[in-house]
Structure 1
């Protein structure tokens, strides 16, 4: 299982949000590149970056920072946040990014996932952000009528090979991911699943590994020293 340290960027700084809420942020440092290099030095094999400004506004405000991270790291990075058309997806990939992650647009824009898969293949990851089993959109603000498991099955049919599953109510809490929903997903689809949200201990990681998931994104627990990346 791949551990993806998370570097969330907002207003040019490395932050973490609580349950995805913009007004509940903790700033960990003013230089996201510092965090990115730290995680690589501690053994990370892949990095997960979220452009929170992009997620909330749709604008690519942190392009220079993302490129700087890609240029200074020897490990691949995946980037999500505000990717709402093919041009933006290609623009981010051109920065030296390995994979792009789409969320809201994959739900709301008919044919968008098909277009991305046709053009970019396996470099496209879809983020399923859910609450009480239903997909959320618009920076996690609005709950749709689509069940997360049904959406995952649909994505598999479209050719998506990797998804990120986040239970919003768990995100930033460190109380543990939604293991039941992750198992339901694992039993329902045959594509890579990256668990995200709520991971707060090595025991949580071990449990995810036992589910035979492809990966796990860890943020707050790493920044606050609850989990040692070197140990993992």
Structure 2
């Protein structure tokens, strides 16, 4: 199972995915390089502002990508948050991103998604942000009323090759919804990554013990707080 330390970037700073984790004074570029120096082979970068439609951190993310791409051992980097047009997708790929995640537009603008798939299919991941099996969008704000399994099947029909299940925690001490992850994996029969609710060391160990997860998206702040978790990282490709 691949481990993706995730930097959630808002207004140029790294913020926790959910409550319970301390913030950090480390700037995103320094944190990304620190994680790579510690052995991380994958990274996930989330533009929280762009996901909410209130600005973006595109230039900062571009710098992180460029710096990562210049390393002797190039890591696999995934970018998410507010990717709604081909020029945005092309920018991140040009800077060195391996994977791009689309979520809200997958629900609201299927024609745009078809255009993106036509150009970038090999690099796209469909995100399913859900709480209790119900899909949310626009940065977890809006409950669409759509069933997560239905969206997974739609993603496969569209021709996506990879899914990301963002399990939205309903409290700081919420347990991961591995049951929904299992059902999504079975329904779509696509490589499935899971994140959102993996906020404690025991969550990562539980995820790693499963056979239905292709990767885990884990808050980078958790790895900075508990460096021993870096031992869970194994050699990984970008596939």
Is the TM value for this pair above 0.5? yes
Identify unmatched segments of 5+ residues in structure 1: none
Give the aligned partner of residue 63 of structure 2: 68
Q: 1: distance between equivalents of 2:202 and 2:10?
A: 30
- Which of the two has greater helix per residue? 2
Partner of 2:236: none
What is the Cα deviation at residue 104 of structure 1?
0.7
1:25/1:214 CA distance change after superposition, 3 Å = closer
> Relative contact order, CA 8 A, sep 6+: which one is greater?
2
Match in the other structure for 1:148:
148
Secondary structure, in 3 states, of the residue corresponding to 1:94?
Answer: helix
* Distance of aligned partners of 1:174 and 1:217 in 2 relative to their CA distance in 1, 3 Å threshold: farther
Is the 1:12–1:32 contact (alpha carbons within 8 Å) kept by the matching residues of 2? yes
SS in 1 for 2:5: strand
Distance 1:145 1:200, change over 3 A: closer
Q: Aligned residue for 1:114?
A: 114
Q: Indicate conservation of the 8 Å contact 1:201/1:226, yes or no.
A: no
Matched, 1:51 2:52: no
Closer/same/farther in 2, CA of residues 86 and 165 from structure 1, 3 Å limit: same
Q: CA contact under 8 A between 2:17 and 2:196: conserved in structure 1? A: no
1:41 is aligned, of 37, 40, 45, to 37
Paired residues, number: 226
How do residues 173-188 of structure 1 correspond to structure 2 at under 5 angstroms? 173=172, 175-188=174-187
Any residues of structure 2 matched to 1:2-151 within 5 Å, and which? 2-18=2-18, 27-57=23-53, 59=55, 61-73=56-68, 74-151=74-151
CA distance, structure 1, for counterparts of residue 199 and residue 45 of structure 2: 19
Q: Which runs of 4+ in 1 moved over 3 A?
A: 24-27, 173-176, 200-203
Q: 1:231 to 1:134 in 2, by over 3 A?
A: closer
**TM-align CA RMSD:** 2.3
In 2, the alpha carbon distance for the partners of 1:226 and 1:96 equals 26
